[in-house]
Each structure stands twice: as structure tokens, then as C-alpha cells.
Structure 1
Amino acid sequence: MNTPDTGGAALDLEALRSFVTIVQQGSLAAAAEQRHRTVSALSMQIKRLEERLATRLLIRGPRGVTPSPAGEVLLREARELLRQHDGLVGRLTGQGLSGRVRFGMPEGYAPQLVEQVLPDFLASHPSVLLEAVTAPSGELARRLERGDLSLAVALDRPHRVAGGEPLWKTSPVWAASRDYSIDQHAPLPLALHPLDCPFRSLGVEALEARGREWYAVFTSTSIHAVEKAVEVGLAVSILDRQRLTPSMRVLGEADDLPELGESQACLYFSRRIAASSWPAVEALAVMLRRRLSQVGPWHGVW
């Protein structure tokens, strides 16, 4: 069997790593710091890739760099190629991935991620030191910016972080107990998370836009405590539709409640990841993308 002649168009794996890092970080400067190289060195790598492939890969704008259509295609293929390459090297040398991965996730989605993603990751990479934490999305965003986390799955509000990769759209709804009756002339009693919660922001923004008065009758950092407050009829809350129990019902315009806006769950990388830990961080990111993209944690094919 003859091997196809590619005209010597072999790709530099290290240049591919730089390309992936630039897209993830959103700028050459941040990627250079991540890769422990100069900006000019990364620019030269990208230039050689573009010359080799005879196409433009990155588009430079006022907010950083984004992949071109051809770059989007290369990004998907490069991630898989690097994953396979690193896995092959690890198997042949007996040196699997190592390093430290600090992963953050919102509490409302933690049970599914803890049960169905993290054990598989650790089973595949037993030498990796994984540290997983839960916190509201706003707090996760701040921890990422401080460098306290390597990567996180978080909602894109109330504290927005640049460079997030969309995973799935959430389904926020107004939730109340089955027999809850709303007094449309009285302030709406709410069960809420603290200020860092994206669903709290969605609900409060919608109510204030409608001019509807409200007050927090119950506030807790625990999603289970908020859900219990809804189930027993203490208050109304904003929950992901998938978290509704048989004791709850969805409220809407018929109950004089405004439509809620959208919120996107995204995958975010820290701008400060040790080079020795980067392959392990990317390996977890690959697994999260595969299992959460489009479908989220509720309907994925595990």
C-alpha cells in the first residue's frame, strides 16, 4: 500500500500546541506566558503553520485573537492529534500524565460531574493530582482570574470572563411548590443563592425590568436548601428546569412573572497554568467537551 505524498507538509506538534494555547487564552501574550516562550517565537510558529497550510489561522482584533474558519477546523483536529500523541508517548514510555489540576464547577451541576466525569478522568490518569471544588459561577470566575483554579465549568454571568468555550445552554425557570399561590399585588418572596449566582441575576434583572417588587425570604449557598424552600412553599426561586422535583411546578406569564433570559455554561481556562500540568489540564478539558458539549450534564451519552 502506497503512502499518500503530502509534499512534505508535516505539521510541527509544538506549533500546534502553541496554536491551541493561543486560541484558548485569546492572546499571544497570555499564550506566550503559558508556553514559557516569547511572543515573537509564538508568532513565528503560527506564521510557519499558516505558510505550511496555505491559509490564515488567526484573526487579530481589538479584543485579542480568534480562529478563522480554517483555524476552527484545525483547532478541533489539533486537540485530538495532541491527545493521541501524548497518550501514545505515555503508554510507550510508561509515563502517563502527571501534574496538578484544580477544577471548579457550580454546585447545581456538581453531582453529575463528580459521578460521571471525574472518576473516569482519574482512572485514565491516576498520577494526576486532581483538586475539585464547587462555588457559584461568579466566585469561580474570580478564582480563575486569581490563578486559584486551572479550569472551570461556569455560567457566563454575573461575572463574565473572556475566552470561555460554550458547552451548553441552561434552562432557567421560575419554580414553586405544586400548591403555591402567588399574590400578584404583594412583593414576590424569593429563595436565592448569594450575589454570585447567575440564576439570581437572571431573576432579579427580569423582575426589576418588569417593575415587580420582590424580597429574599430565604438565602443559602446550598442548592439543596434553596430547593427545599421551594418544595415546602416558603418561596419562589429560579432553578434549572432539570432540577425540578415532582413537588414543584413551573411559573410563567400566567402568574405575572417575566420571561427569564438565557445563560450559557462555558469551559474556562486559567491564564496561569504550570507547563508541567498543562497536558493534564487539557486532558480533563477534552473529556468535559466530549461529554457536555450541546447536551450538558443531564442528557449526555456517557
Structure 2
Amino acid sequence: MSEVGAAALDLELLRSFQAAAQLGSLAAAAEQRHRTVSAISMQIKRLEAALNARLLERGPRGVIPTATGEALLQEARELLRMHDGIVARYAGQGLRGRLRFGLPEDYARALLGDVLPEFTSRHPDVLLEAVTATSGELGRQLGRSRLHLAVVLDRPVPLPGGETLWRTSPVWAGPRAAGLADRESLPLALHEVDCPYRALATEALERLGRSWHAVFTSTSIHAVERAVEMGLAISVLDRERLTPAMRELGSAEGLPALDRCEARLHFARHIEAESRPAVEALAAMLRERLQERGPWRGGVTV
């Protein structure tokens, strides 16, 4: 029992497991943890042996957690957050200041489940406020310095500068059962103005000369997705957001190809001196976790 307890609380093993489970790849975990792939694989095998449970399923496209692995991942996140918070508080290494971070709602769930909780655990004295909005609104808030840092898509109005984190994968999403694409006027579920995917959809249809009308408009990505699932409309979503009640549509249904867009990291023009170190620390973490691969576990958008 003592060996199992000690191994289960080995934070280095848990960190490597967490990285592999979240990124969906041993190679990506090795890069993040600054170790070799074989070292990461050995650490996970040691953790599996200590817990007498299989934690990851290996496949040609990477790794995914088993049911036991999913449960452990949640507990590991909490344990590591507590540990890092204690170290930051008592070792006097934590950053301070206020940090307002903006992100599109489409990516909030992925970032809130990984990057932001880890950041707050490492830097518990930073007053972090996360704000979701359309990319257009986030750009305006950055321009007024109401945000310190934001992830903004480069449509419909690209902001100057910024660092590319990943390229998105927009697709036409329709209900699995209903056939809506053959209607004379295409029924769409859309966000309001300033939404990059609204612009992608309408621009593509207008280039084709295809009639469309907005049957459902909402600021909520979840409401738009529900409208698609219930057979009310077609929309443009990131491919990773398709649910079992949806199917990807395309040229076979007479729909035009969609342009790609980029998710970029932007800083405010004016950042208070006391907040600058915290802003830089969050930016570094976002680059480390999101550059090229995006926020989806195991997904690589190219």
C-alpha cells in the first residue's frame, strides 16, 4: 500500500500524464515537459503500474484517456493546482496585479478547462478576469485598453499585428436527420455582427450567389449549436464542435468552400507596470499550449 500511495502522489508522473492526456500526444507532452518521448512513456507506464490501471489508449493519431484516465485527470488537475498554489504563496514567487483576458466564446470551455486554471494555480495572487465576446468586440475592448490580452480571430475586421497561435477549421454544420441544404433560401443559425464565422458563411454564399436567411440569431454558441441539432438551421462551426446530432456538409450538398482564419494573440497598447509580468506570463503559457495545435485535445489545425 505504501508503494501505491507514494507513486500515486508522484507529481512528476501526474504532470506528464496530464500533459499527454490534454494534448493527446506523447510527442506534444514531451515537448511541453522538455523531456524525450521515451521518458514520458516510461513515466506514464510507472503511473499505470502503481495504480494498477490503464490510463491511456494508444492509437495511430495519438493517445486518449480511458474512463479511469479521465477520472484521474480531473483529480490530478485539482491536486496540481493546490500544490502549485501553495508553492507560489509560501515561496514568494507568485506574480501580482490585475489581468483582464478576452477570448471568443467558442474556445472558452477548452481554455477554462486547461490553461486558465493552471495559470491561477501558479499565480494565485493575480486577479484574473476572463471575458468572452465576439472577435470584433474583443478588438474594440483591446483598443480601449479594457483588456490586457486577448485571443482574437482575424475576421471580420483583422487587427494589426498579433501573433498567430493556430488556424481554425470552419465547416458547414447541419442536423444529422433533416435535409435543409436543398431549400431555395438556406436557413442559417448565426451569431450577431462581428462574428468571424458569420462573415465566413455569408461571404461564401454571396460569392456563390446562393440565397440565405437568418432563421436564428444569438450571441450564444451553445444556442446556435442547439438550433442546428434540432433541425432548425445550418451554421458554420469549428469542426471540433460538431456533435453526434450534426453532420458536416459541403460540396455534395451544394455548399461553397469556406475560407480559413487565424486565431491571434494581441496585447493592449497600454498595460500597467504592475500587471505587465502577469500578462507576459499568461501570454507565454498560451503560446506554449496553443501554438499551431489550438485548444482541442489532440487536435492539430494546419
TM-score, with structure 2 as normaliser:
0.68
- Find the aligned partners of 2:181 and 2:234 in 1 and give their Cα distance: 12
Shift of 1:97: 1.1
Q: 2:297 aligns with which of 281, 288, 299?
A: 299
TM-fit CA distance, 1:95: 5.2
Corresponding position: 1:113 with 2:111 = yes
Judging changes above 3 Å, is the alpha-carbon distance between structure 1 residues 250 and 276 closer, same or farther for their aligned structure 2 residues? Answer: same
Determine the C-alpha separation between the residues in 1 that align with 2:198 and 2:293. 23
Q: Please list the CA deviations of residues 70-119 of structure 1 after superposition, one character each: whole Å capped at 9, or x if unmatched.
A: xxxxxxxxxxxxxxxxxxxx999825311111000111100111110111
Aligned length: 212
- Of 153-162 and 242-251, deviating more is 153-162
User: Which amino acid in the other structure matches residue 203 of structure 2?
Assistant: E
Shift of 1:139: 0.7
User: What's 1:160 paired with?
Assistant: 158
Alpha-carbon separation, structure 2, partners of 1:129 and 1:273? 14
* Percent identical residues: 62
Contact 2:191 2:217 in 1 (8 A): yes
Q: Distance in 1 between matches of 2:265 and 2:181?
A: 40
CA distance in 2, matches of 1:242, 1:94: 40
Tell me which amino acid in the other structure corresponds to 2:127: L
Structure 2 contact 180–234 (Cα < 8 Å) conserved: no
> In structure 2, what residue type is equivalent to 1:223?
I
Query: How far, CA to CA, are the matches of 1:129 and 1:156 in structure 2?
Result: 28
Residue 134 in structure 1 maps to residue 162 in structure 2: no
**Which amino acid in the other structure matches residue 280 of structure 1?**
A
Q: Which residue of 1 is the match for residue 148 of structure 2?
A: 150
Letter in 2 for 1:184: D
CA–CA distance in structure 2, aligned partners of residues 180 and 212 of structure 1: 19
Output aligned runs, 1:186-205, within 5 Å. Answer: 186-205=184-203
Distance change >3 Å, CA 187–CA 279, structure 1 → 2? same
> Which residue in the other structure is 1:239 paired with?
237
Change (3 A) 1:183 1:144: closer
Distance 2:140 2:129 in 1: 17
Supply the AA of the counterpart residue of 1:136.
T
- The 1:183/1:129 distance shift into structure 2, 3 A limit, reads closer
Q: Per-residue CA shift, 1:201-245, capped at 9, x if unaligned?
A: 000000000000100000001111000000010000000000000
Q: Give the deviation of 1:184 after TM superposition.
A: 3.5
Larger Rg: 1
Distance 2:252 2:156 in 1: 28
- Counterpart residue number, 2:122: 124
SS of residue in 1 equivalent to 2:213 = strand
Inter-partner Cα distance in structure 2 for 1:278 and 1:219:
38
- Match of 1:137, as an amino acid? S
Instruction: For residue 182 of structure 1, report the CA deviation from its aligned partner.
Output: 3.1
3-state DSSP class of the match of 1:298?
coil
CA distance in 2: counterparts of 1:123 and 1:92, whole angstroms: 13
- Say if 2:101 and 2:129, in contact at 8 Å, map to a contact too: yes
Aligned to 2:287: 289
